[in-house]
Chains A and B, each alone.
Chain A
Amino acid sequence: MPFDSNAMEKEVSVSGLTKIFGDGDTAVTAIANADLALVPGEFVSLLGPSGCGKTTLLRIIAGLEAPTEGAVEVRGQSIWNGKTRSTAATRPVSMMFQEPRLFPWFSVLDNVALPLRVARVDAKTRRERAARICETVGLKDFLHHRPTALSGGMRQRASLARALVTDPQVLLLDEPFGALDAMTRDSLNLELMQVCARAKVTTMLVTHSISEAAFLSDRVVVLAPRPARITDIIEMPFDRPRDLDLQQSTQFQSMVGRLRRALSEGA
């Protein structure tokens, strides 16, 4: 599925984005003059070494961190007006953090339903919707457990369910499965891909894993550190739906090789 970001409507657009933390001698440039656009339904990964500003970029798009310079738009609306976030513009955006961030005082179901509760959806409707999304991520038998009673993988499933329960248009994922073992990670990635495709959500995933980025994405954004910047954007030309066997193909291996070269050239 080729994307031509100029020809299509833009779901997320980042232009001239710069973020500098601190000032004077201790100033750190987390992002330097980044340009990026995502079309609706696209799955894009941010791939780069530690400290190159991936989390910062995601947080600025999510409205959690103000940019130093540049603009971020979601569906044509500006996320930041100077240092103030626009609540209307961030409404269609949902974010899943690196840690599950579930609350132990709620059951799994109530954790997943939390966004709907904050949005004042009535109790019956939000239970139903939360239960349905829990089922799609394989948590059907754990609705009334406390999050502390779940395994790490199941907690991330619950966290993903919470991020999806409001039917977001844009989903931001910051190394969601980084702390899990390779096997759990593979199966969660497969489910993530299916869920995102079904929900037609525009997704931006931060990862350290080259094969994960290649497997999941339509395009991979390669970042380099010091100064932090986008060095390359590479399209992953594999048909969808994809399955785990894809990773064995020579075409996949050659894309992985290309990404690895792009990463080392930037460094």
Chain B
Amino acid sequence: MHKNTLRTILPIISVTSFLALWTIYVHTAEVSAFVLPPPDAIVVALFEMVQTRELWDHALVTVIEAVSGFLIAVTLGVSLGFIMARVPPVEWAAKPFIVLMQLIPKIALAPLFILWFGFGLESKIFIAAALAFFPVFSNALQAFKSIEPGDKDVFTMLQANPVQRFFLLDLPNALPVVLTGAEVAVVLAMIGAIVGEFIGGNEGLGYLAVAHLQNLAVPELFGVIVILAMVGLVLYTLIGRLRTWFSPWHVSTGVA
């Protein structure tokens, strides 16, 4: 069979067999629907949920939190990364904090952020930002540092001012690596927002999941997870697109 047809057919086959096995297992092993509902029950629940205003309101809240947190993380990560790459003493001074921050499981900060910033959107935005910050920052620091001396010489010869050098050399040179970090960051921002919603507040998909759990509405709980996966996929794809758009020259994007 042709390679391309195989590539289309095989994923369809694997997913259908997975769902079939799941259904068969649930029915033959008589698994309680409170533990693992069959796929069709989840599809039905999902179908009903997407028609309610409630779900989209909650989804919007989660997206706003994750995206705001992500944007804060990108802004801070890129500017701090650039400053530390350019002014090494700043990096030396900040080093202990960077190491410490890397060692702390950032998720453990979530309760603290609720304590400081309350049960509203702000605390979730900051949790999302805290989680998303690191991949952007460390990639930006590496990328801004890794400018070849020979490339700098070209700009020195041209007598470019610092602003020109930043926009014509440093930034485009760093962009592919920074955006790779951003791809990871957007997923972490989603996790941060959801964890925040688990802990406190009455809005967002994370809150909705907990609410369904307390009502033992298991198919709906699975439905929320599917929606979360979808939202995450959309955000991740968006950043990926941005990366190919902004750095079409880079090897990682595969076009010359």
**Do A and B come from the same complex?**
yes
**Interface of B: prevailing SS:** helix
Q: Which listed residue (B158, B169, B249) contacts A115, Cβ 8 A?
A: B158
A-side interface residues, number (CB < 8 Å)? 23
Interface Cβ pair total, 8 Å cutoff: 50
Q: Which listed residue (B150, B156, B157, B249) contacts A104, Cβ 8 A?
A: B249
Q: How far is the CA of A259 from the CA of B249 in the complex (A)?
A: 45
Question: Distance (Å) between the CB of A162 and the closest chain B CB?
Answer: 8
Which B-chain residue is minimally distant from A159 (CB atoms)? B154
Which A-chain residue is minimally distant from B172 (CB atoms)? A105
Query: Is A236 on the interface with B (CB-CB < 8 A)?
Result: no
A99, B150: Cβ atoms closer than 8 Å: yes
A64 and B156 contact, Cβ closer than 8 Å, known pairs A117-B168, A148-B256? yes
A95, B157: Cβ atoms closer than 8 Å: yes
Residues of B within 8 A of A64 (CB): 153, 156-157
Q: How far is the CA of A103 from the CA of B250 in the complex (A)?
A: 11
Query: Is A260 on the interface with B (CB-CB < 8 A)?
Result: no
Q: Which listed residue (B151, B160, B256) contacts A103, Cβ 8 A?
A: B151
Residues of B within 8 A of A63 (CB): 156-157
Residues of A within 8 A of B151 (CB): 101, 103
Query: Is A179 on the interface with B (CB-CB < 8 A)?
Result: no
Q: How far is the CA of A148 from the CA of B160 in the complex (A)?
A: 24
B249, A146: Cβ atoms closer than 8 Å: yes
Query: Is A87 on the interface with B (CB-CB < 8 A)?
Result: yes
- Most chain B Cβ neighbours within 10 Å, of A93, A103, A117: A103
Residues of chain A in range 162-206 having any CB-CB distance to chain B below 8 Å: none
B172, A87: Cβ atoms closer than 8 Å: no
Interface residues of B (CB under 8 A from A): 150-151, 153-160, 164, 168-169, 172-173, 175, 247, 249-250, 256
Name 11 A/B residue pairs within 8 A (Cβ), A-sorted. A62-B157, A93-B157, A101-B150, A101-B151, A101-B154, A103-B173, A104-B250, A105-B247, A114-B168, A117-B168, A146-B249
